[in-house]
């Protein structure tokens, strides 16, 4: 099987699994208890918190573990709204956020009386800073803009947004689920007050995430019960998950520079091949994209039956931008291997896409996103015989 959907989830690294295993059967004590075996669990949580805080340039006390990115996003928006409603009820976000943000904003609008501004983005998927400033009112209490888009790959001008928020005395939250562990992030340098992340996006386990909350931010508890997470998020901690997340962060930081260099080279090589071999393809490449865009929503469905792909796993779901709800409809295909292998796969899909384009099927764009993945094909030459 060739897995091409690391935008959705990643394979848990073997080193992460190995680090987690003792906390299932050996150090399984409840970290809130007082006996020795519980102490091991508590130490593991502290270490995981420190590993994440160090990467963000934060204090360990500012890291709160959750069940994942969606919970972190919900907590950031709902608890901030409740805590600051005496100041105002206006939140600014964008139209290309993850549904964890968009649906939470919808809830706050319908059920809690919030006023939400949904900003447009430009043709490259980037927030227009002048439009952001124009949207600010005396009632604005929060700006929430995702760091990197999970569908089109656009990376927002987070530092500039943070500066605008600080200038106006507004809290700034970013959904960094797709960015944390992939690009350098320092919360102080970027002016971030709250940041969401999820372990399974960077070869860590599922079911674990965190919300960074800057010291001094007045935010209420999201889950009520025990005194875990400094009385802000009740529930017995997911110790194996926290250990695994910490290890995944360690591995991601150690390889980040090399991965960024390799992925950039891979992307540029594949784009060059596509432009050279498919002369008539529309050109969607620009300085902002980390993705390669082609025409038609239907192409992947037809590729499934028309190309002998021998075990590809690609994204088949949709997320937003259509006539009904305005959210982006995209597919993403993510790969990483030697340049020959990668470009063979993408060129094969690109040819199928252009075939449909010539037939007049000019529907939504499909995203071919070049990023880390796990592949099992033997080499590019063999794949070329199969696909091309």
DSSP character string of 273-297:
HHHHH-TTS-----SS-SEEEEE-S
Report how far apart, in Å, the C-alpha atoms of 59 and of each of 62, 68, 107, 158, 182 are: 5, 20, 32, 20, 21
Rounded to whole angstroms, the Cα distance separating 59 from 194 reads 13
* Helices and strands of the chain, counted as H and E runs: 13, 12
**Closest listed residue to residue 178, CA positions, set 366, 342, 343, 367:** 367
At 324, is the secondary structure helix, strand, or coil? coil
β 140-144/90-94 pair status: parallel
Q: How many residues does the chain have?
A: 388
- List helix spans (H) across the chain: 14-20, 22-25, 36-56, 69-84, 99-112, 129-135, 158-167, 187-190, 228-231, 239-277, 299-306, 339-358, 380-387
**Closest listed residue to residue 143, CA positions, set 72, 222, 233, 80:** 80
- Residue 10 contacts residue 202 (beta carbons within 8 Å): yes
Q: At what angle do helices 380-387 and 339-358 cross, to 10 degrees?
A: 20
Dmax (CA) for the chain in angstroms is: 70
Sheet with 291-295: strands ordered across: 291-295, 365-370, 332-335
**Closest listed residue to residue 44, CA positions, set 237, 198, 229:** 237
Q: What is the pLDDT of residue 278?
A: 56
| Long-range CB contacts (within 8 A, 24+) of 188-194 | 188/57, 188/58, 189/57, 189/159, 190/158, 190/159, 190/162, 191/158, 191/159, 191/161, 191/162, 191/163, 191/165, 191/166, 192/158, 192/162, 193/165, 193/217, 194/76, 194/80, 194/219
| Long-range CB contacts (within 8 A, 24+) of 320-323 | 320/96, 320/99, 320/102, 321/95, 321/96, 322/364
Report how far apart, in Å, the C-alpha atoms of 80 and of each of 213, 217, 280, 386 are: 11, 9, 50, 53
- List helix spans (H) across 278-373: 299-306, 339-358
Q: What is the pLDDT of residue 124?
A: 84
Q: What is the mean pLDDT of each run of 10 residues along the chain (388 residues)?
A: 73 97 95 89 96 97 98 97 96 96 97 97 91 98 95 90 98 97 96 98 96 95 90 94 98 91 76 64 40 38 37 37 38 46 55 50 36 30 38
- Residue 327 contacts residue 321 (beta carbons within 8 Å): yes
Q: What is the pLDDT of residue 262?
A: 80
**What secondary structure letter does DSSP report for 34?**
-
- Provide the β-strand partners of residue 116: 91
Q: What is the pLDDT of residue 171?
A: 98
Rounded to whole angstroms, the Cα distance separating 184 from 22 reads 30
Helix then strand then coil, % of the chain, to nearest 5: 45, 15, 40
- Provide the β-strand partners of residue 294: 366
Q: What is the pLDDT of residue 299?
A: 39
């Amino acid at each position: 099987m060739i897995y091409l959907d690391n935008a959705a989830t990643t394979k848990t690294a073997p080193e992460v699994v190995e680090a987690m295993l003792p906390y299932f059967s050996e150090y399984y004590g409840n970290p809130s208890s007082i006996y020795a075996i519980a102490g091991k669990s508590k130490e593991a949580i502290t270490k995981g918190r420190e590993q994440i805080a160090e990467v963000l340039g934060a204090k360990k006390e500012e890291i709160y573990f959750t069940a994942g990115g969606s919970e972190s996003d919900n907590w950031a928006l709902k608890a901030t709204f409740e805590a600051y409603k005496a100041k105002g009820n206006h939140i600014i976000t964008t139209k290309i956020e993850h549904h964890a943000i968009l649906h939470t904003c919808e809830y706050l609008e319908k059920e809690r009386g919030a006023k939400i501004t949904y900003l447009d983005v430009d043709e490259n998927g980037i927030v227009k800073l002048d439009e952001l400033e124009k949207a600010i009112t005396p009632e604005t209490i929060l700006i929430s803009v995702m760091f990197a888009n999970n569908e089109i790959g656009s990376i927002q001008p987070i530092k500039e947004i943070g500066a605008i928020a600080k200038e106006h005395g507004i809290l700034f939250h970013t959904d960094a689920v797709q960015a944390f562990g992939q690009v350098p992030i320092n919360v102080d340098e970027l002016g971030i007050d709250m940041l969401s992340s999820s372990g399974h996006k960077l070869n860590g386990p599922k079911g674990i995430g965190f919300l960074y909350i800057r010291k001094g931010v007045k935010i209420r508890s999201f889950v009520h019960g025990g005194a875990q997470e400094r009385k802000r998020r009740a529930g017995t901690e997911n110790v194996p998950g926290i250990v695994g997340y910490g290890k995944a962060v360690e591995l991601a930081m150690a390889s980040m520079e090399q991965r960024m260099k390799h992925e950039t080279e891979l992307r540029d090589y594949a784009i060059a091949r596509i432009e050279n071999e498919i002369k008539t393809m529309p050109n969607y490449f620009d300085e902002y994209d980390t993705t390669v865009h082609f025409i038609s929503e239907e192409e992947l469905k037809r590729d499934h039956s028309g190309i002998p792909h021998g075990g590809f796993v690609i994204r088949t779901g949709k997320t937003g931008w259509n006539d009904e709800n305005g959210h982006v409809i995209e597919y993403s295909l993510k790969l990483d291997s030697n340049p020959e292998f990668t470009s063979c796969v993408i060129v094969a899909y690109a040819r199928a896409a252009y075939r449909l384009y010539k037939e007049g099927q000019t529907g939504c764009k499909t995203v071919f996103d070049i990023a880390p993945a796990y592949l099992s094909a033997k080499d590019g030459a063999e794949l070329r015989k199969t696909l091309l």
